[in-house]
Structure 1
Amino acid sequence: MSADGGTSTTTSARVNTPATAQSSGHGYTADKDAYLRRLRRIEGQVRGIVRMVEDHKYCIDILTQVAAVNSAMHAVSLGLLEDHLRHCVVDAAHAAATSDSSEGVDTLDLKIKEATQAIGRLLR
């Protein structure tokens, strides 16, 4: 098992699609299938780790696979964060810039706070 959960050399599960191709909804919507494939691959890696423990495999080999899963999950997390910034935060910034009310600015502030909190959780 590779550190990113497969043979890909990219660091995230994102498929490069223009923002205009995204349907309404969440930022990851256009890349949902890629995320699901990556998460299913990670799920298989975790099942493999369970089998390694059940079979009393060498602890360093197990730790190597745990590190691979952690790396793959980190890549998914960063991809989702990037999607959130590119879609949700940018949309909120555009709405704030074109709005005559403070509601758009409040929404932008909320989206930035969400992103900041998500980054904080990833750094723990």
Structure 2
Amino acid sequence: MEPIKDTDSILKRLRRIEGQVKGIQRMVEEQKYCGDILIQIAAARAALNKVGGLILEYHMKDCIKDYMEDKEKDEVLEELIDVMLKYTK
């Protein structure tokens, strides 16, 4: 399988999410208003979902296509379904 394309962009997004989570930790330590903390949690979750979506898109467009050359289509479909179910939990 090929490495993820645009790794730099994804890593930049993940570092930004890491900063958001550290900010949320500080907010909790400083006993900030719960509503503000929840808004920051929602923003971090949305950012993480975006990164996951980008990697899932890559997986479906590139990884699965390459994998199909070596495996039966039913096996590839089952693996894709398994990944999707685990991703959406």
Q: TM-score by structure 1 length?
A: 0.64
Aligned-pair CA distance for 1:90: 1.5
What corresponds to 1:120 in structure 2? 85
Larger Rg: 1
8 Å contact 1:81–1:115 — kept in the other structure? Answer: no
Higher relative contact order by CA 8 Å / sep ≥ 6: 1 or 2? 2
Count of residue pairs brought into register by the alignment: 89
Distance in 2 separating the partners of 1:117 and 1:54: 38
- The residue identity in structure 1 corresponding to 2:83 is A
- The residue identity in structure 2 corresponding to 1:35 is I
> Percent same amino acid among aligned pairs?
40
Distance in 2 separating the partners of 1:90 and 1:53: 44
8 Å contact 1:42–1:73 — kept in the other structure? Answer: yes
2:57 paired with 1:92: no
Q: What does 1:39-118 align with in structure 2 at a 5 Å threshold?
A: 39-93=14-68, 95=69, 104-106=70-72, 108-118=73-83
8 Å contact 1:49–1:66 — kept in the other structure? Answer: yes
8 Å contact 2:20–2:40 — kept in the other structure? Answer: yes
Between structures 1 and 2, the one with greater helix share? 2
Q: TM-score by structure 2 length?
A: 0.86
What corresponds to 1:31 in structure 2? 6
8 Å contact 1:88–1:111 — kept in the other structure? Answer: no
Aligned residues: CA RMSD: 1.7
